[in-house]
Structure 1
């Protein structure tokens, strides 16, 4: 009887969880230039496009890359999910598909709310000052001008951009890659998100900034939906995530509790 009650309680907990992202047998395939001599001119590029249009295929000298292969999982509100795997395993590609930036060749991606993708290459305008980018970035995320104004100082302080001078008033092109990545993260973290995806953002900056970032992710989990984190830092994954997806060569090898998946990954990779 006690066992039956325990099972009933666990089922009730499962039913109470709210799905935020469902990937159902997702395959992502894209076409890349296969390379070759004398293929860099505009005339050659135009010729390849015309040939591809006529044939309806990838065209000569082009190759299809099967970046994500039949990945299925369900993410729930309140989870922080790490994505690990070697370079080229499909982690960033999968996040772009969840964000709606890459259409799956087959399978489906369902999301509850608006996914937001934050990466070290997230678009900010290099010719504008950090201050203008904070304002435009906040507006682009759906914040009102009043909300941006209220959170402006918090965003700048969190990023640490002005710790060694008045850099926020300088154009973004004068920033180091680490400074730019910290500002991107700070802008994105100023708003609660339905689904927030972070691609390597915690790999930049000093340990103090990484700690602040990890604390902010934990806060986002309390008030928002789901956080996905792609990082080569196993320490950041352990400190931030309660669940991990391990991808290799586009396939989902393992999905489970952080310690369990990380141990298996480290044993296999020798890291």
Structure 2
């Protein structure tokens, strides 16, 4: 069997012209006859939606090759398409064009765990872990750690529909970090809960990262990207602006912010 060092530099994910399109119903704005003094016109013409269907191309043909051992930061302004691209790479969004080829298992932290609101937290731990490819024995070994990390305590035996959104998010994150994936994807926007849990989440991300072959990270924090990654992909308006060594790309990106 090849060692981890032997695998470094081996392609593990290929994005070939990846395109993601959202279809939006309604949402357009229009104006009405100013002579008709309805409540809507008094509130302002920008508040009057019309029916209709429009499309938004969030990712516009992105291509790159990710290799084993790389830590790839995806940067860009709000609306650049970073999180959409990450979800597409993880197989959580349908592509409207192009293809994604992977040479291993992928996991997007906090999202991949497929949980059911009708089941208890304990049952969802088993369901989510099995869905990620863990064996029943592995689930049993990880169970106590997952419960402890989630901070749910006795609530773990309640139906998930009784959880607050924060409790449910903590359980998803705890389950999703239980399995080791070949390709780990992290979106800092998924971090939830209070400051204490966010700190635990970041520490857990570091631990999981050490066991993953390739890591993708979406973050607005330049320092996090620089310290965490060795490569950066800069996106704007659904397109790749630059791709290369993290120090070089981050310097160019910070210059653009000025």
TM-score bin (small chain): 0.7 to 0.9
Do residues 72 (structure 1) and 79 (structure 2) align?
A: no
2:188 maps to 200
Matches within 5 A, 1:109-188: 109-119=100-110, 123-162=114-153, 166-188=154-176
**Which of 14, 17, 25 is equivalent to 1:22?**
14
Contact map agreement 1:79 1:242 (CA 8 A) in 2:
yes
TM-aligned CA distance change 1:259 to 1:14, over 3 Å: farther
Root-mean-square deviation (CA, aligned residues, Å) is 3.0
Deviant stretches of 4+, over 6 Å: none
TM-aligned CA distance change 1:153 to 1:123, over 3 Å: same
2:177 maps to 189
- Write out per-residue CA displacement over residues 98-125 of structure 1, whole angstroms, 9 at most, x where no aligned residue: 1234343333321112222334696422
Question: Quick one: distance in 2 between partners of 1:233 and 1:86?
Answer: 11
Contact map agreement 2:8 2:69 (CA 8 A) in 1:
no
1:106 maps to 97
User: Equivalent residue of 1:253, what SS?
Assistant: strand
Contact map agreement 1:80 1:241 (CA 8 A) in 2:
yes
TM-aligned CA distance change 1:147 to 1:14, over 3 Å: closer
Contact map agreement 2:8 2:67 (CA 8 A) in 1:
no
> CA shift at 1:235, angstroms?
5.0
TM-aligned CA distance change 1:64 to 1:201, over 3 Å: closer
TM-aligned CA distance change 1:89 to 1:185, over 3 Å: same
Contact map agreement 1:217 1:227 (CA 8 A) in 2:
no
Do residues 248 (structure 1) and 236 (structure 2) align?
A: yes
TM-aligned CA distance change 1:240 to 1:185, over 3 Å: farther
Question: Quick one: distance in 2 between partners of 1:175 and 1:34?
Answer: 32
Contact map agreement 2:59 2:238 (CA 8 A) in 1:
yes
TM-aligned CA distance change 1:255 to 1:161, over 3 Å: farther
TM-aligned CA distance change 1:77 to 1:110, over 3 Å: same
Count of residues in Structure 1 that have an aligned counterpart in Structure 2: 233
Contact map agreement 2:114 2:127 (CA 8 A) in 1:
no
TM-aligned CA distance change 1:178 to 1:82, over 3 Å: farther
- Write out per-residue CA displacement over residues 124-171 of structure 1, whole angstroms, 9 at most, x where no aligned residue: 223322212111111111111111111101112223333xxx232233
After alignment, is 128-137 or 208-217 more displaced? 208-217
TM-aligned CA distance change 1:87 to 1:195, over 3 Å: same
2:84 maps to 93
> CA shift at 1:67, angstroms?
1.3
What residue ranges of structure 1 are gaps of 5+ in the alignment?
A: 1-12, 38-59
